[in-house]
């Protein structure tokens, strides 16, 4: 089993005042910028292993009208060290991880919720019963019994979101010709498209599913190639891809949950490549909070079934929120 | 016609507010309405992560001034009502 330590640093920033306001009021929903079922938020992240370092920067804008919201995100992701000809050490099934890609994503969110007006009198009676005043909030009630009674009078709704994303990149791969062992380079465009849906469940967290289609330029498996060194019979050996790269079309299915358990948070996801029967699991675990109260740091172990590769990501940055940016006050 | 009822909203949770049965549109942290004299119910529903915060403050009219500030607990939700006399 291969183990590595990835250190990730995420930094959230806002640009225009309006966007900064949005970010302030509804903090980043995905500090690691990898979720396909969260609303795009503005931020940056670096993920690194011993062999590879990957960076992502995303700008976003969000709009709200009534119960509906729309967020747009433009993200640039790419390797900033490591060879583009070798498979990424990052334990994901992202076939485009070895090239710089640009992704445009749009997320629509709807939260339909009713006024408490129709239950104003029962709520008033409940407030009088427990607090001896005519108005109150759930948080004012100090007993579980009172809060249960209160919740029976309130419909919190179930916000849901739909996300569509498109991604394109360009990759160059160095390889050796399979007949002559001459060094060659092939370049080409790669692309990916994703569609996801998520549901927010009050008192529990959130759940989402994503389908991704990726068209990638993939190098052949690496081999150790030894060639004679002049003038005597010594050999020089190196690890190279032998044979021209191939284009692959991959379908990926991901299920992701966001669970708040007391004062910690989990954001596990499972991605499956059905045709190759490969599974990748990532479990971001948030346990550090900012002064403002949001989850900002933690550790994220990840594992994939084919390589048995286990990595651990440490990250700090924008807050993890139950609810994505752009739909706050 | 200028509004005679204004509410300032802050925090980082998702919030919906109503005055009686009508939604209050929150724009840049402020919601407003023009109300006839009488008694109204200000209500709100909030979702967020534990530790998220929200605040609601009636800034207009001065006679109805009122404020609440809440940190969301592990339930991840909150709601409430406040009676307003215009």
pLDDT higher than threshold 80 for residue B21:
yes
For the segment A242-251, the average pLDDT, to the nearest whole number, is: 92
Least confident segment among A157-161, A294-298, A302-306, A315-319: A315-319
Say whether pLDDT at A117 is over 90: yes
- Number of Cβ within a 10 Å radius of residue A310: 15
Type and span of the H or E element at B41: strand B39-47
Contact between A252 and A271 under an 8 Å Cβ cutoff? The reply is yes
Confidence of residue A6 (pLDDT cuts 50, 70, 90): very low
Determine which of A53-62, A136-145, B70-79 has the lowest per-residue pLDDT on average.
Answer: A53-62
The partner residues of A141 in beta bridges, in order of sequence, read none
pLDDT digits (tens, 9 = 90+) for A258-282: 887 766 778 889 999 999 999 999 8
What's A147's DSSP letter?
Answer: H
Nearest-CB residue to B45 (from A25, A113, A204): A113
Q: Rounded to whole angstroms, how far apart are CA atoms A54 and A52?
A: 7
pLDDT-derived band of residue A20, with 50, 70 and 90 as boundaries? very low
For residues A15 and A30, give the distance between their C-alpha atoms in angstroms, rounded to a whole number. 18
Please judge whether A154 and B45 are an interchain contact, meaning their C-beta atoms are less than 8 angstroms apart.
Answer: yes
Nearest to B77 by CA among A114, A138, A161: A138
Q: Give how far B38 is from chain A: nearest CA, Å.
A: 15
Binned at pLDDT 50, 70 and 90, residue A145 comes out as: very high
Name chain A contacts of B58, Cβ cutoff 8 Å: none
pTM comes to 0.75
Q: How far is B32 from chain A (nearest CA, A)?
A: 13
What six digits make up the tokens of A80? 């900033």
Strands A68-81 and A100-110: antiparallel
Strand A264-266 with A222-229, pairing: unpaired
ipTM: 0.94
The pLDDT > 70 percentage for chain A reads 71
How far is the alpha carbon of A47 from chain B, nearest alpha carbon, in Å?
25
CA dist list (Å): A56 to A26, A213, A297, B27 = 21, 20, 17, 31
Alpha carbon distance A286, A264 (integer Å): 6
Output the six-digit token pair for A226: 């030894």
Residue A289: pLDDT band with limits 50, 70, 90: low
**Orientation of helix A144-151 relative to helix A120-131, angle to 10°:** 170
Backbone angle region of A146, left / alpha / beta, with phi > 0 → left and psi within -120 to 50 → alpha: alpha
Q: Are A263 and A223 in contact (CB under 8 A)?
A: no
Chain A, nearest residue to B7 by Cα: A329
* Residue A286 CB contacts under 8 Å (≥ 6 apart), including other chains: A264, A265, A266, A267, A295, A296, A297, A298, A320
Question: Can you tell me the distance from the alpha carbon of A55 to that of A9, in angstroms, rounded to the nearest whole number?
Answer: 9
Between A110 and B44, residue with greater pLDDT: B44
Q: Which residues of B touch A29 (CB under 8 A)?
A: none
Q: Under an 8 A CB cutoff, do B79 and A150 touch?
A: yes
């Amino acid at each position: 089993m291969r183990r590595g330590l990835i250190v990730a640093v995420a930094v959230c920033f806002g640009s225009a005042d309006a966007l900064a306001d949005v970010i302030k009021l509804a903090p980043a929903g995905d500090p690691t910028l990898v979720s396909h079922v969260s609303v795009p938020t503005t931020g940056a992240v670096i993920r690194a292993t011993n062999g590879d370092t990957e960076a992502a920067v995303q700008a976003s804008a969000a709009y709200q009208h009534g119960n509906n919201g729309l967020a747009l995100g433009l993200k640039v992701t790419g390797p900033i060290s490591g060879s583009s000809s070798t498979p990424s050490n990052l334990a994901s099934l992202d076939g485009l991880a070895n090239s710089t890609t640009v992704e445009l994503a749009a997320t629509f969110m709807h939260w339909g919720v009713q006024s408490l007006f129709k239950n104003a009198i029962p709520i008033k009676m409940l407030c009088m019963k427990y607090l001896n005043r005519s108005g109150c909030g759930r948080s004012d009630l100090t007993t579980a019994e009172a809060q249960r009674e209160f919740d029976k009078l309130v419909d919190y709704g179930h916000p849901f979101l739909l996300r569509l994303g498109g991604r394109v990149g360009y990759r160059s791969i160095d390889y050796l010709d399979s007949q002559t062992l001459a060094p060659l380079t092939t370049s080409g465009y790669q692309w990916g498209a994703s569609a996801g849906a998520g549901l927010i469940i009050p008192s529990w967290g959130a759940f989402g599913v994503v389908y991704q289609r990726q068209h990638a330029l993939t190098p052949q498996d690496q081999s150790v190639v030894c060639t004679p060194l002049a003038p005597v019979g010594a050999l020089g050996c190196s690890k190279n891809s032998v044979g021209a790269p191939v284009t692959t079309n991959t379908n990926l299915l991901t299920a992701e949950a966001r669970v708040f358990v007391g004062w910690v948070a989990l954001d596990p996801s499972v991605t499956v490549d059905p045709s190759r029967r490969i599974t990748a699991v990532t479990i971001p675990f948030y346990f550090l909070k900012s002064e403002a109260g949001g989850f900002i740091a933690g550790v994220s172990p990840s594992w994939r079934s084919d390589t048995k590769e286990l990595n651990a990501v440490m990250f700090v940055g924008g807050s993890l929120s139950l609810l994505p940016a752009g739909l706050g006050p | 016609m200028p509004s005679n009822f204004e509410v300032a909203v802050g925090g980082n949770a998702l919030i919906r507010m109503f005055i009686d049965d009508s939604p209050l549109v929150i724009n840049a942290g402020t919601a407003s309405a023009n109300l006839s004299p009488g008694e109204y119910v200000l209500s709100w529903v909030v979702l967020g992560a534990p530790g998220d915060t929200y605040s609601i403050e009636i800034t207009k009219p001065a006679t109805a001034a009122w404020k609440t500030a809440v940190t969301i607990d592990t339930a991840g939700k909150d709601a409430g009502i406040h009676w307003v006399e215009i």
